[in-house]
């Protein structure tokens, strides 16, 4: 195993890293939106069909797709060091949805306050 590279925390991301961080941010927002959208989708389905027969299949489908999206978030790699962006092992799917910093090199998803452009 090669030694882990340590990057200074002040080093801003380059354009390629910014693009990859934006993808991770979008995946996190998609997964959270999907989970939050479950209740409104269930109510709309009940109102449209006027029956609760589809609630259980909708719930199972919604949870499976939500877990697949959350798994993609936690499996994403850090654009700077190449390690998993979220290395936590306790409930990794939930932690990955709220993680804003690479566990290995410290690269953050938070946008810079100072614009260099």
Could you report the per-residue pLDDT of 49-94, keeping only the tens digit for each? 877 777 788 888 888 898 888 888 888 888 888 888 887 655 656 7
pTM of the model: 0.75
| Whole-number Å distance between alpha carbons of 18 and 16 | 5
Selected residue with higher pLDDT from 89 and 98 = 98
The pLDDT value given to residue 114: 40
Is position 115 within any domain? Answer: no
pLDDT at 20 over 60: yes
| Whole-number Å distance between alpha carbons of 113 and 96 | 24
Q: How confident is the model at residue 26 (pLDDT cuts 50, 70, 90)?
A: very high
The pLDDT value given to residue 115: 44
Instruction: Please report how the helices 15-36 and 55-75 are oriented relative to each other, as an axis angle in degrees rounded to 10.
Output: 160
Is position 59 within any domain? Answer: yes
Q: In total, how many domains does the chain have?
A: 1
Selected residue with higher pLDDT from 9 and 105 = 105
Is position 106 within any domain? Answer: no
Q: How confident is the model at residue 117 (pLDDT cuts 50, 70, 90)?
A: very low
Is position 9 within any domain? Answer: no
Domain extent for 64: 15-98
- Mind listing the pLDDT tens digit for each residue in 28-40? 899 889 888 888 8
């Amino acid at each position: 195993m090669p030694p882990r590279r340590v990057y200074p925390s002040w080093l801003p991301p380059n354009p390629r890293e910014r693009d990859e961080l934006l993808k991770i941010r979008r995946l996190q927002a998609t997964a959270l939106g999907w989970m939050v959208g479950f209740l409104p989708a269930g109510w709309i389905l009940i109102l449209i069909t006027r029956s609760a027969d589809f609630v259980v299949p909708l719930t199972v489908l919604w949870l499976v797709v939500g877990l697949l999206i959350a798994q993609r978030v936690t499996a994403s790699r850090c654009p700077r060091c190449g390690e998993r962006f979220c290395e936590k092992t306790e409930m990794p799917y939930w932690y990955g949805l709220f993680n804003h910093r690479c566990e290995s090199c410290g690269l953050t998803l938070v946008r810079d306050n100072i614009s260099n452009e």
